[in-house]
Amino acid sequence: MNAEIVAVGSELLTPFRQDTNSLYLTEKLNELGVDVSFKTIAGDARPHLTLVAQTALSRADLVIFMGGLGPTEDDLTREAVAEALGLELWRDPQILESLGKRFAARNMKMTPNNAKQADILTGATVLANSSGTAPGQWISGKYEGREKIIVLLPGPPHELKRLFEEQCMERLRSKLPPAFIATRVLKVAMMPESQCDARVAPIYRRFTDVTTTILAGAGEIQLHLKARAPELQTAQGRVDRLAGELEDELGDAVFSSQGESLEQIVGYFLQMRNATLAVAESCTGGLLGERITSVSGSSRYFLGGAIVYSNQLKADFANVPEELLKKYGAVSRLVAVALAEGIRERCHATLALGITGVAGPSGGTPEKPVGLVFHALAREAGTEVVERNFPGDRKRIRWFATQQALDMVRRRLM
Amino acid sequence: MNAEIVAVGSELLTPFRQDTNSLYLTEKLNELGVDVSFKTIAGDARPHLTLVAQTALSRADLVIFMGGLGPTEDDLTREAVAEALGLELWRDPQILESLGKRFAARNMKMTPNNAKQADILTGATVLANSSGTAPGQWISGKYEGREKIIVLLPGPPHELKRLFEEQCMERLRSKLPPAFIATRVLKVAMMPESQCDARVAPIYRRFTDVTTTILAGAGEIQLHLKARAPELQTAQGRVDRLAGELEDELGDAVFSSQGESLEQIVGYFLQMRNATLAVAESCTGGLLGERITSVSGSSRYFLGGAIVYSNQLKADFANVPEELLKKYGAVSRLVAVALAEGIRERCHATLALGITGVAGPSGGTPEKPVGLVFHALAREAGTEVVERNFPGDRKRIRWFATQQALDMVRRRLM
């Protein structure tokens, strides 16, 4: 079975907004063993919508429409799909009543335009929307002689997700040959994409029954593995075998094999060792702390630290000797060491990170170009430093620097 | 003239990757006065691609294909478009030669598969690609009796953007009736969307010659205004008039009228007043510092500060009296004040911000629920505090808190 996802809404045809629901739906459909063959984005113009519905019905077995089910005159998905299928719409008194109740419960008067949300395609099953007003619809039948399933879902992401999970997953599963999908995600820190690919490609190419997708970001490569089989155990065995071989090849560069983020993994290790962490950030300006504290519960191991943007604060908050700053400059190996050691002492932390560098776009010199960053990790037994030259713009360089620093903690605690 | 954008690539039909080129292209096409009516995403399967090309040609005047022009066997856009148009492909010896030179210059041997990048649709104009190997193509002619323009662009964003700007903008402009587009972006801080909409809708609805798009994010609403006219002055006058009326209505809630970010605006004001800023962050964990320092040149006004995640550090780095923490708890009005005043003193800053709150998802109590945040701004003349209850998850609450804090600085310096 192949699917087409149609996102409806004129705002999705502007330079400002993007359909993201389809990423979620694709993941769910893939779990069921359904591939997405086409995605279409259409505005609110009814003739365009009808055309899009006809096209989708002619080329996909399962067509999912998202959006355009609301109460305004621009919400025309129901009408367009009815026209494409040659079906009538009828107003369901039961839905009308529950819409009225919903408004009454909020002490609001239901304006007449809301009634169109009760319009149902003849023969369709109503999919109750437990988090919004517009219900979804499900209809199956023949179109141009072929069996089709058509699903109408509301556009707001939280409504769509809940409705799809509650009402569509099992319905779809029952229409499909039994298929189990097993997935694994390996994440790799601070390895160039070409180097990673050269090492893993010979391995995953041998596993023709596993789909491998490689996604590369700043300082992180993700290997998404997916296998489909009539039995879960078979599918799981396939991804596990490939994951095992990849982990053997990449060794400790793999920081996560179940999808966890680097900041989560660092948090696990710190808790496991009963250790605490502090930071002194110059060029990253708070990003490192932000990433660490994005994990709920991080107060169990993260104490805090200082954003030492000015040299005065490097001295005041992290005890960096002023002669060091004068002699070597703020962006230097020794200042990174002093930052980490100083903030560790000031915060009474088990481990501490210091970062100093040139994030750009301005401020670079021939000796200290944009992208040069020093990362230091201090602990009781001593301090290690890593010097890197990161490519890219300010945002990317700062991200790289925090990735490198977090990875140093991980490797130390591993 | 209406346009369809077709993004080609099987990775765009996975849960992991999204087409973003179309946002750029939509912006450029809108500048030329061309609306995008459809966007389609297709994989690398040739029959699917041909179908998509036929559909696009039947419903749009301008069809732009992105991607699928590379050297691999999965790169089939040329072949599919040729089939849809009923045209032959021919191998252009000049392109072939320049491909060979490109490889030779890098001391690389050109593998035979690269040659297909020299395949050109009969009658097409070659669009030289100054940043990659695969050239673009431009063809205009009749399809089903109607005049069409078809453009093939490479997929990598930097190649696509450069090629479109260098080779397509003027070509397209010369085919279109003269139209000038003027745009303005107003940004509004910390106003509920419904309240903003109720105030601005009666105004922008009167301006039928200006398109208004409202985008709401956490603590920020953007009003995008766009007008099209045969003369630039006329278009500019229209958006300026509407912008003026909207600014009159919304007053100082509008923080930016040329698209600047809140952190940029705060930076302008600080520099203008020759003032410096420091921060003491508890629940935001570094996000506030990160946002301020995301602006290049922020070292001219931002000194730094402390991430005071533990209570000990609130005392050590921001001089918060321990009895205050004991008596009122870390999340309290008085601790926020003490954080701002303490960090201001410690950093010798003109202004200082203190943030403390419950970011969740755990840690909330009936008295201090998840989302409760206190924001304090200290200056010579005194300290102001704002207490807010933000909705949403950890990420959203933390973002809201920094938005509120930055907006307090802006309002104070305005």
pLDDT at position B213: 86
Q: Which residues of B touch A299 (CB under 8 A)?
A: 309-310
- In CATH terms, A189-256 corresponds, of 3.40.640.10, 3.30.70.2860, 3.40.50.720, 3.10.180.10, to 3.30.70.2860
Please give, rounded to a whole number of angstroms, the shortest distance from the CA of B93 to a CA of chain A. 31
Q: Which residues of A touch B361 (CB under 8 A)?
A: 296
Please check whether residue B358 is in contact with residue B364, taking contact to mean a CB–CB distance below 8 angstroms.
Answer: yes
Please give, rounded to a whole number of angstroms, the shortest distance from the CA of B38 to a CA of chain A. 5
User: Averaging pLDDT over each range in A127-136, B6-15, B368-377, which range is the top one?
Assistant: B368-377
DSSP-derived 3-state class of residue B358? coil
Domain positions in chain A = 2-175, 189-256, 262-413
% of chain A at pLDDT higher than 90: 82
Q: Which CATH class is domain B180-256?
A: alpha beta
pLDDT at position A346: 97
With CB atoms and an 8 Å threshold, state whether B316 touches A285. Answer: no
Residues B262-413: name the CATH superfamily: CinA-like (3.90.950.20)
pLDDT at position A213: 86
Size of interface A-B (CB pairs under 8 A): 217
A-chain residue closest to B31, CA distance: A15
A67 CB-near residues (< 8 Å, 6+ apart): A7, A8, A9, A12, A21, A77, A153, A154, A155
Note the helical H segments in A350-393.
none
Report d(CA B405, CA B352) in Å as an integer. Answer: 10
Tell me the per-residue pLDDT of A142-191, one tens digit each, with 9 for 90 and over: 898 999 999 999 999 999 999 999 999 999 999 998 888 899 999 999 98
Residue A38's nearest CA partner among B60, A173, A25 is: A25
DSSP B166: I
- pLDDT at residue B109 greater than cutoff 90: no
Distance of CA B145 to the CA centre of its chain: 39
| pLDDT band (50, 70, 90) for residue A234 | very high
Q: Which residues of B touch A297 (CB under 8 A)?
A: 362
DSSP A119: E
- pLDDT at residue B175 greater than cutoff 90: yes
pLDDT at position B370: 96
- State the distance between the two ends of chain A, measured CA to CA, in whole angstroms: 45
Calculate mean pLDDT across residues B63-71.
95
Structurally, at CATH architecture level, domain B2-175 sits in 3-Layer(aba) Sandwich (3.40)
State the number of CA atoms in the 13 A half-sphere of A249 facing the CB.
18
Q: Which residues of B touch A370 (CB under 8 A)?
A: none
Tell me the two tokens of residue B25: 């292209």
Distance of CA B214 to the CA centre of its chain: 14
Report d(CA B165, CA B172) in Å as an integer. Answer: 11
Which of A5, A10, A14 is the best residue to mutate to test the B interface, defined by the most B CB atoms within 10 Å of its own CB?
A14
Q: What is the 3-state composition of chain A as percent helix, strand, coil, each rounded to the nearest 5?
A: 45, 25, 30
- pLDDT at residue B113 greater than cutoff 90: no
Please check whether residue A397 is in contact with residue A370, taking contact to mean a CB–CB distance below 8 angstroms.
Answer: yes
Report d(CA A291, CA A46) in Å as an integer. Answer: 45
Lowest mean pLDDT among A114-118, A168-172, A212-216: A212-216
A-contacting residues of B 249-288, CB under 8 Å? 279, 281, 283-288
Tell me the per-residue pLDDT of B203-227, one tens digit each, with 9 for 90 and over: 999 999 999 988 888 899 999 999 9
Cβ-nearest to B307 among A304, A313, A395: A304
Calculate mean pLDDT across residues B34-46.
94
Tell me the two tokens of residue A161: 């997700």
Please check whether residue B67 is in contact with residue B78, taking contact to mean a CB–CB distance below 8 angstroms.
Answer: no
% of chain B at pLDDT higher than 70: 100
pLDDT at position A195: 85
- pLDDT at residue B121 greater than cutoff 90: yes
Residue B281's nearest CA partner among A308, A306, A276, A354 is: A306
- pLDDT at residue A130 greater than cutoff 90: no
Residue B256's nearest CA partner among B303, B294, B222, B292 is: B222
- pLDDT at residue B105 greater than cutoff 90: no
DSSP-derived 3-state class of residue B46? helix
Calculate mean pLDDT across residues B344-348.
98
Q: Which residues of B touch A215 (CB under 8 A)?
A: 16-17
**A103 or A365: whose pLDDT is higher?**
A365
With CB atoms and an 8 Å threshold, state whether B312 touches A348. Answer: yes
Calculate mean pLDDT across residues B174-197.
89
pLDDT at position B216: 83
pLDDT at position A318: 97
Strand B2-8 with B62-66, pairing:
parallel
Number of other CB atoms surrounding residue A178 within 10 Å:
10
Report d(CA B341, CA B382) in Å as an integer. Answer: 9
Q: Which residues of A touch B295 (CB under 8 A)?
A: none
Q: Which residues of A touch B283 (CB under 8 A)?
A: 293
Lowest mean pLDDT among A185-199, A332-346, B383-397: A185-199
- pLDDT at residue A258 greater than cutoff 90: no
Burial class (CB in 10 A: 0-12, 13-18, 19+), A129: buried
Calculate mean pLDDT across residues B70-87.
93
**A216 or B260: whose pLDDT is higher?**
B260
Report d(CA A330, CA B318) in Å as an integer. Answer: 24
Please check whether residue B405 is in contact with residue B375, taking contact to mean a CB–CB distance below 8 angstroms.
Answer: yes
| pLDDT band (50, 70, 90) for residue B198 | confident
Report d(CA A41, CA A124) in Å as an integer. Answer: 23
pLDDT at position B67: 95
DSSP A88: -
Cα Rg of chain B, angstroms: 28
DSSP-derived 3-state class of residue A392? coil
Q: Which residues of B touch A53 (CB under 8 A)?
A: none
Tell me the per-residue pLDDT of A276-331, one tens digit each, with 9 for 90 and over: 999 999 999 999 999 999 999 999 999 999 999 999 999 999 999 999 999 999 99
Calculate mean pLDDT across residues B228-241.
93
pLDDT at position B259: 85
CB of B17 within 8 Å of a chain A CB? The answer is: yes
Mean per-residue pLDDT of chain B: 94
What sign does the dihedral B148-B149-B155-B158 (CA atoms) show? negative
The ipTM of this complex is 0.88
% of chain A at pLDDT higher than 70: 100
Mean per-residue pLDDT of chain A: 94
Please check whether residue A245 is in contact with residue A257, taking contact to mean a CB–CB distance below 8 angstroms.
Answer: no
pLDDT at position A353: 98
DSSP-derived 3-state class of residue A325? helix
pLDDT at position A194: 80
B362-395: string of b/e by CB count within 10 Å (b at 16+)? ebeeeeeebbbbbbbbbbeeebebbebebeeebe
Tell me the per-residue pLDDT of A385-401, one tens digit each, with 9 for 90 and over: 999 999 889 999 999 99
CB of B27 within 8 Å of a chain A CB? The answer is: yes
| pLDDT band (50, 70, 90) for residue B4 | very high
- pLDDT at residue B271 greater than cutoff 90: yes
Instruction: Please state the pTM of the whole predicted model.
Output: 0.88
- pLDDT at residue B306 greater than cutoff 90: yes
pLDDT at position A400: 96
Cβ-nearest to A15 among B30, B294, B313: B30
Report d(CA A132, CA A163) in Å as an integer. Answer: 10
With CB atoms and an 8 Å threshold, state whether B15 touches A35. Answer: no
pLDDT at position A111: 84
Calculate mean pLDDT across residues A246-268.
95
With CB atoms and an 8 Å threshold, state whether B303 touches A309. Answer: yes
| Angle at the Cα of B122 from the Cα atoms of B117 and B124, rounded to 5 degrees | 75
A-contacting residues of B 31-90, CB under 8 Å? 35-43, 45, 48, 51-52, 55, 59
Single-letter residue type at B127 = L
- pLDDT at residue B247 greater than cutoff 90: yes
- State the distance between the two ends of chain B, measured CA to CA, in whole angstroms: 44
Which of A307, A331, A344 is the best residue to mutate to test the B interface, defined by the most B CB atoms within 10 Å of its own CB?
A307
| pLDDT band (50, 70, 90) for residue B361 | very high
Calculate mean pLDDT across residues B45-54.
95
Instruction: State the DSSP string of B309-320.
Output: -SHHHHHHHH--
